[in-house]
Structure 1
Amino acid sequence: MTSSTPGFTGTARTPSPWVGMVLFAGVLLILLGAFQVIDGLVTLYRDDIRQATADQLAIPINFTAWGWTHLILGALTVLVGIGVLRGVTVARWAAVLLAMVSTFANLLYLPAYPFWCGIVVAMNIICIYAIVAHGRELRA
């Protein structure tokens, strides 16, 4: 479909339905970040309610350090999710990077919360796919 605007030589493209999936990924990143912030706060204040002990985790780490990791990672993920919703290119790259880091962090945290970590890993993979495959369409 060619635009009838004088001086415009390009073609107007209608975005595919996948733009909605990228917007969904942005909202999902904000939710995942908020959940990680909550998980970090719970870990910092109530480390006695975990299902696994520190030596049962994939890497030996104390829960205070792990709580701060989740807290910082979650706050960054919320900010990047807002950037994805606004169509910022740098935010898309940062979102993919943070989703990958979050996936690996939750895989290491799997013995403590197997069901929850599995859900977070699946949501991160959905975000990565939507942003990598169709993120460019959001800017248009």
Structure 2
Amino acid sequence: MSGTRTHPEAEPTLWPGLVVFSGMMLLILGGFQAIEGIVAIARDEYFATTSDGLVITVDYTVWGWTHLSLGVITIAAGFGVFFGKTWARVVGIIVAGVSALGNLLFLPAYPVWCTIIIATCVLVIYSLAVHGREVR
């Protein structure tokens, strides 16, 4: 029975494009996080509220290093998603969740920016969790 297929190939979908988009969004999100961290480390007076007005009252330098660290990890996960690595999808989902939570806590300091980052995190989590395997 040559020429017949026992397992028909699944029809291609558009979801791998969304996962590649998520990989790119992880890179952008990591860049945003890094920029937010660098600003928090360098210029405390840039933000809309003092550090006392934040949900967790710590110095902006601590927030800066937190955001900068998240940014570096997010960028690494973004590159891993492009190569179809399972660890990168898992790390991407975790870091996007942590990033959304961290930005929710940082919301009083920079409301518009944090809202954009939270929305991006939700999109990244959805596409990596539901359609992440389709990239391979």
Pairwise TM-score range, normalised by the shorter structure: over 0.9
- Residue 122 (structure 1) aligned with residue 97 (structure 2): no
Cα distance change, pair 60–14 in 1 and its aligned pair in 2 (3 A): same
Q: Which runs of 5+ in 2 are unaligned?
A: none
Match of 2:95 among 81, 95, 98: 98
SS class of match (1:12):
coil
TM-score by length of 1: 0.91
Letter matched to residue 28 of structure 1: M
Inter-partner Cα distance in structure 1 for 2:62 and 2:69: 11
- Cα distance, 1:93 vs structure 2: 0.5
SS class of match (2:108):
coil
Inter-partner Cα distance in structure 2 for 1:64 and 1:96: 26
Cα RMSD of the aligned pairs, angstroms, is 1.6
Identity score, percent: 46
Cα deviation per residue 1:89-139 (whole Å; 9 max; x = unaligned)?
110001000000000000000000111100100000000000111001112
Counterpart mapping for 1:52-131 below 5 A: 52-131=49-128
TM-score by length of 2: 0.94
Q: Which runs of 5+ in 1 are unaligned?
A: none
Letter matched to residue 82 of structure 2: L
Inter-partner Cα distance in structure 1 for 2:68 and 2:114: 15
Cα deviation per residue 1:56-92 (whole Å; 9 max; x = unaligned)?
1111111011000000100000010010111101100
Cα deviation per residue 1:31-72 (whole Å; 9 max; x = unaligned)?
010111111111111111111111111111110110000001
Cα distance change, pair 9–130 in 1 and its aligned pair in 2 (3 A): same
| Alignment partner, residue 25 of structure 1 | 22
- Cα distance, 1:16 vs structure 2: 1.2
